[in-house]
Structure 1
Amino acid sequence: MQDIPEEWREVCTDSCQGVALFQRGDKAGKPSDRESLMMELAQLVQKTVQESSWWERRGVDCTILGAAFACLPAAFLLLRSSQVLWFTLGLLLMGTAHAIITIKGTHLASHGALSESRAWGDFWAIFFIEVCGSFTARVGVHAHVKMHHAHTNIIGLGDSSTWRIPFLPRSVYLFLAPLAVPVITPLVALAQLRSLPPRPALRTVLMVTVGLYSQYWLLLHVSGFQSVASTLLCMLVCRAMFSLPYIHVNIFQHIGLPMFSPNRRPKRIYQMTHGVLNLPRNPLLDWTFGHSLISCHVEHHLFPSLSDNMCLKVKPIVSKYLKEKELPYQEDSYLSRLCLFFRKYKELMVFAPPITELVGVQ
C-alpha cells in the first residue's frame, strides 16, 4: 500500500476526508475497511499501467486524434465537388473528424491524459477545448473534472443537471434540441466570461474566434463555398452530426441511476459503482467519443486520469474485481436506455430525482 503514488491516492479517497484517512488507517495500522477496497483496486490498476508501454498509455489515442486532423484536408477538398456522392462523403468525413477532435480530444485534454507534462497538458486543454471545442478551458475543466467527477450523482453538484431542460417535450429534447449544441456552446462560453479574470477571458475569445473563423475561411477559400449562408450551414451540419448521441451518452450513463445527498454521500467506490453505467462496445462511438465515454465509463470514473485505451485495457481487471466484491458493475444497451428515457422522461428529466441511501454497505 505504501507504494501507491500521491496522484493515485487522490482518486481513492473521499473528497471530504482526503488522503489522511488512508495514511492514518485503523488501530491495527491497516487502512480503514471503508477505504481498503478502493486502495486494493488502485494497486491492481496501477500495476497494469506501470507495465504498459507509452503506446498503450497514450500513443493509441494520440494516433487516433492525429488521424482525425489528417483527414481534414481531404474533407475540405471533397466539399469542392459538385457531385452529391463526393460532397456527402466530404461532409461525413469532416463531421466525423470534428467529433473525434471535439469530443474525444477535449475529454482527454480536460483530464490531462494526452501528456505526462503539466505544461503540455495545459496547452492541449486550451487547444482542444477552446480552439476546437469553442468553449472556455477553465470553466470546462472545472465543470467536468472538479464538479462532475468529484461529485458524480450528488444532487446539485455533479448530477448532470446541466443537460436537463424540463420545459421541452421529450421528443424535442431527445431528438431535436441536441442539434443546437454547436450554436449554444460558444454562446454559453461567452456568458461564462464574466466569471473569469480578464486574461483568460480574452484568451478564450481569441481562441474560440480562431477556431470558428479558420473553418469558415477554409470552407470559403478551399472548398469554394460562394455564400455566407451556405458556409455557416455546412459548419452547423458538420458540428451537429454527432450531437444526438453526445447528449444521449451524457444522460444515459448517470441519470436514472442512484442519486445521493451532499450531506450523506457514499465512499468513492460505492458512489461510482452505483452511479455510473457502461454502454456496450460500438465501433463508431468508440472511435469518435472514446472508450472512456462509452464502454469503459465505470473505469473512467474510478480512474479518470487514464486514457481511453488504458481504460479499455484495465476493464477486465475492474469488472472482475467489482463482481468478486459483490459491487455493482452496471451495463445496459444504448437502445434500452433510449427507450427508458422516452418512457420515463418526466420522472427522470423533469422531476427532481429521489435520493438513494446505501444502507448497510459502508
Structure 2
Amino acid sequence: MELARGASKGDGGAEALLGELEGLVQDVVRASSWWELHGVDCAILALSLLALPAGFLCLSSENVLVFAIGIAILGVCHSTLTVKGSHLATHGALTKSKRWSKIWLLFFVEVCSAFTAEFGKFSHVNMHHGYTNMVGLGDSSTWKLPCLNCYVYMFLAPFLIPIITPLVALERLWKVELRIALRTLGLISLGLYSQYWLLLNVSGFRSPSSALACMLLIRALLAHPFLHVNIFQHIGLPMFSRDKKPQRIHMMTLGVLNLPRLPVLDWAFGHSLISCHVEHHLFPKLSDNMCLKVKPVVSRFLHEKQLPYQEDSYLARFRLFLSRYEELMVQAPLITEVVGLQ
C-alpha cells in the first residue's frame, strides 16, 4: 500500500516540507495574543480549581441528584487538572517561564496526578514524542496488558488506573536521588491526603472507607475515555523500527490520529489529546488552544502536499479495538514498510 502518495522523497524533501509547515504555524503563533497562547488553557485550569469547593459541598447533601452533581464536578475537575494540566505542564506549554513551568509540572503531575514528574516527562516527552510509534520505544506499549481479555481491558481495567498510578510512582522512586524521592513522596501524599481530608471534613463522610471509595469514584470517573484515547490514537496505525524509521513529518502523520471534537473530553483532556493530536505531535510545545487554532493550517497543508491526515470517530475506533483486540493489543505489531518515503 502506498502510504504517502505524492509526498516529497528524500531526507531533504521531508525536511523542506516540515520547515515550510513550521513557518506557516509560526506565522499564526506570532500573530496570537497571550490569551490565545496560554490564557485560555490557564483559565480552564483555574476554573477547575475554583469549582472544587462546590463539588465537595455538593457531596455533603443527602439529595441523590445533588450528590451526583458533586461527583460529576469533582470527577471532571480531577481529570482536567491531572490530564490536561499534567500534559500541558509536561510540555512546558502553560508559560514561557522555566521556573513556573517547573512549579506547574510538580503541582499537576505530583500533587494532582500522584505520579513522578521526572519519569512522567521522560516517558512522555522523550520517549513517546521522540520515538512515536517506534516499536518498544514510543509505541504506547505501556498501555498494553496482554494478560487481560478484551472486555476486561476495555471496561474494567480503567477503574484500576487511580490505584495503579501511585503504585507505579512508588516503584519509580527507588531509581531517583533521595532528595527527589522525598520531594515526590511528600507532594503525592499531600495531594492524596488533601482530597481525603476534604471528603471527611467538608463533605461530611463519616468513615474512612466511604471517603476512600468516593476518592476512587472521582478519580476513575473519566478513566475509561482516558485509557481509550491513549490507545485509539496510535495503536493500529503504522509502526516503525528504530533502524528504519521515516522522517519526522512522515512519522507523525502516519502514526498519529485525530478524534472528533467531544465537549467533555475537550475540556477535561484538552484539544491536543483529542481533535488536534496530529497538530500536537508536530508542534508539542503549543497549548491546547493554539493546537486548535493552527489545526486548519496544518490540515490544509498536509492535504495539499498529499500527506496523511488521519481522523476517525471515537465509536469507530472502539469497534475496531473490540473486533481486533487480539491482533492490536496482544500480538506483536507489524513493522510498516516505509520504502519510498525516505
- So what's the TM-score if we normalise by structure 1? 0.91
In structure 2, distance between residues paired with 1:85 and 1:335: 29
Residue identity in the other structure for 1:341: F
Deviation for aligned residue 1:361: 2.1
Residue by residue over 1:110-164, the C-alpha shift from the partner in whole angstroms, topping out at 9 and shown as x without a partner, is 0000110011101100000000000000000000000000000001100101100
Deviation for aligned residue 1:358: 1.2
Gaps of 5+ in 1: 1-25
In the alignment, which of 42, 46, 66 is matched to residue 86 of structure 1? 66
In the alignment, which of 277, 281, 287 is matched to residue 301 of structure 1? 281
In the alignment, which of 100, 103, 107 is matched to residue 87 of structure 2? 107
Aligned pair 1:272/2:249, yes or no?
A: no
Deviation for aligned residue 1:357: 1.4
In the alignment, which of 57, 63, 73 is matched to residue 43 of structure 2? 63
SS in 2 for 1:263: helix
In structure 2, distance between residues paired with 1:153 and 1:90: 39
Q: Match for residue 4 of structure 2? A: none
Deviation for aligned residue 1:194: 1.2
Q: Match for residue 135 of structure 2? A: 155
In structure 2, distance between residues paired with 1:99 and 1:148: 21
Aligned pair 1:328/2:304, yes or no?
A: no
In the alignment, which of 262, 266, 269 is matched to residue 289 of structure 1? 269
SS in 2 for 1:32: helix
Gaps of 5+ in 2: 1-9
Residue by residue over 1:62-112, the C-alpha shift from the partner in whole angstroms, topping out at 9 and shown as x without a partner, is 000000001000011111101111111111111111111111000000000
Deviation for aligned residue 1:33: 2.4
SS in 1 for 2:296: helix
RMSD: 1.0
In the alignment, which of 238, 241, 244 is matched to residue 258 of structure 1? 238
Verify the 8 A CA contact 2:246 2:341 in the aligned structure 1.
no
Deviation for aligned residue 1:305: 0.1
Q: Match for residue 212 of structure 2? A: 232
Write out aligned runs for 1:1-362 (5 A). Answer: 32-362=12-342
SS in 1 for 2:311: coil
Verify the 8 A CA contact 2:14 2:249 in the aligned structure 1.
no
Deviation for aligned residue 1:32: 2.6
- The number of aligned residues is 333
Dislocated runs of 4+, deviation >4 Å: none
Q: Match for residue 7 of structure 2? A: none
- So what's the TM-score if we normalise by structure 2? 0.96
Deviation for aligned residue 1:223: 0.7
Residue identity in the other structure for 1:274: L
